[in-house]
Amino acid sequence: MQLNLDRTNWKWGKRNINILMLAIVYRGIAIPIVWTLLNKRGNSDTKERIALIQRFIAIFGKDRIVNVFADREFIGEQWFTWLIEQDINFCIRVKKTSLSPII
């Protein structure tokens, strides 16, 4: 399965709703299958992302993951290291200014 990791945050009155979700990408449409409410505003951290992926793995198995797509919010050395150690292919958009030339 091709997966998409995303997060949305909005206000409901005075309350912040912050959802981290993992979706299956099917024919160009992302279908949320596991998610968690974050008890804070702003970005998720590596621990929260790993927990979400592990929930997916517990239900479907790691061998079902073809790759994980995510936006530039989902960067970080520990996060990338964990994905590599788990042998999970990933494609994460980064800012152009974050790129380093290959020498």
d(CA 6, CA 30): 10
Give the chain's domains with CATH numbers.
Answer: 2-98 (3.30.420.10)
Enter the pTM of the model.
Answer: 0.86
Confidence of residue 103 (pLDDT cuts 50, 70, 90): very low
pLDDT single digits (tens) 3-52: 999 999 988 888 889 999 999 999 999 999 999 999 888 899 999 999 99
CB 69 within 8 A of CB 91: yes
Please provide residue 81's backbone torsions phi and psi, each rounded to the nearest 5 degrees: -60, -45
DSSP letter for 62, please: G
Which residues does 46 contact at the CB level (< 8 Å), separation at least 6? Answer: 76, 78, 79, 82
DSSP letter for 98, please: G
